[in-house]
Amino acid sequence: MRATGYGRGMPQPVLDIVALRSLTAIADCGGFHRAANSLALSQSAVSQHVRRLEKTLGSRVVEREGRGTRFTPEGRLLVEQARRILAVHDEAVRVLLDTEGDTVTIGSTEHAADQFLPRLTAAVQEVRPGCRVRFRIDRSARLVEAVERGSVDVAVYVTEAAATEGTPVGGLPLTWHATPGWAPPPAPAPVPLVAIEDPCAIRRRAISTLAAHGVAATVVGDAGYLAGVLDVARTGVGVALLAAVGPAPDGLSPYDGLPSVTPIPMSALARPGADPETVAAAFEAVRNLLRPAG
């Protein structure tokens, strides 16, 4: 981001919490339209939030790319910082204002978060009508830590990416995705992969699956979060292994020219003392989503 000096008496820029929430929703959902739906806002409102952040920072953070979106390097950095800000903000609100009403905080990995969170929300509100639902999207190990601290009530995460196994809730189906018409270079050139940076269980699953079938591969692009992976994959430089629930991300489509990948086990975990009926409803919602068709 552009460095700017602020001397004594000069106003310090302020990042708007609502705008940051819209930005992370764009990253988690893969575009403005889906982000607007997940936040129950208009697409123009989400766009205004992004422009507000860009004005504050003096830098572009999101760019249109065909039918999809691409985060600039400044944007990817802002998404990372936004997650930290929102996590601290939401935990403070929960601690300070919990007496105002019933609140449940749900955590999810980025993988298929746009599918998990609406179903978990509906399940929780069915057994606790009128409760407020808050979200936290993070890496699996950090979600488990948040549940054990009590700042997240229920979390769904990749089992092998955390030290705590939790309750098995099914396997997350995985499919190769690339730009329409993409094809890998002819053998023996390695297949170019795009993945979340280590440690990442799905990255390891992609590499090990190809190796088991004698297919050479090399990571040509990685990012700290799923949004960056989607941005790189949309350039056409490589193929990404993504969750195969719900529609494909904007600008990408399933690619069936590589060995199929077995679903990766998922777990759910509830904080100590969580309401048993709420926990049961949330866990069953995840199982229903991951239950194989037929």
Cα 181 from Cα 81, distance rounded (Å): 35
CATH number of this structure's domain 172-262, picked from the four choices 3.40.190.10, 3.40.50.1580, 3.40.50.620, 1.10.10.10? 3.40.190.10
What's the pLDDT score for residue 70?
Answer: 83
> Which of 61-65, 124-128, 242-246, 281-285: highest mean pLDDT?
281-285
What's the pLDDT score for residue 90?
Answer: 76
Q: For 232-261, how does the pLDDT look when each residue is reduced to its tens digit (9 = 90+)?
A: 999 999 999 999 988 888 899 999 999 999
Output the DSSP codes for 221-290: EEESSHHHHHHHHHTTS-EEEEE-SSSPPTT-EE--SS--EEEEEEEEEE-TT--HHHHHHHHHHHHHHH
What average pLDDT does range 208-226 have in this prediction?
Answer: 91
Decide: 194 and 222 in contact? Cβ < 8 Å.
Answer: yes
Residues ≥6 apart with Cβ < 8 Å to 294: none
What's the pLDDT score for residue 294?
Answer: 46
110 pLDDT tier (thresholds 50, 70, 90): confident
20 pLDDT tier (thresholds 50, 70, 90): very high
Where along the chain do its domains lie?
Answer: 17-80, 101-171+265-290, 172-262
Decide: 199 and 222 in contact? Cβ < 8 Å.
Answer: no
What's the pLDDT score for residue 209?
Answer: 95
What average pLDDT does range 104-128 have in this prediction?
Answer: 89
Burial (Cβ within 10 Å: 0-12, 13-18, ≥19) of residue 69: buried
Q: How far is CA 57 from the centre of its chain?
A: 24
Cα 244 from Cα 176, distance rounded (Å): 9
Decide: 241 and 206 in contact? Cβ < 8 Å.
Answer: yes
Q: For 189-201, how does the pLDDT look when each residue is reduced to its tens digit (9 = 90+)?
A: 999 999 998 889 9
What's the pLDDT score for residue 233?
Answer: 93
What average pLDDT does range 86-106 have in this prediction?
Answer: 73
Cα 172 from Cα 289, distance rounded (Å): 9
Residues ≥6 apart with Cβ < 8 Å to 65: 231, 234, 251
pTM exceeds 0.85, yes or no: no
Segment among 23-32, 79-88, 90-99 with least mean pLDDT: 90-99
pLDDT at residue 8 greater than cutoff 80: no
What's the pLDDT score for residue 253?
Answer: 94
CATH number of this structure's domain 17-80, picked from the four choices 3.40.50.1010, 1.10.10.10, 3.40.50.670, 3.40.50.720? 1.10.10.10
Q: Which two tokens stand for residue 69?
A: 């979106």
What's the pLDDT score for residue 261?
Answer: 95
What average pLDDT does range 137-165 have in this prediction?
Answer: 88
What's the pLDDT score for residue 238?
Answer: 94
Please give the CATH topology (third level) of the domain spanning 101-171+265-290.
D-Maltodextrin-Binding Protein; domain 2 (3.40.190)
- Same fold flag, 17-80 and 172-262: no
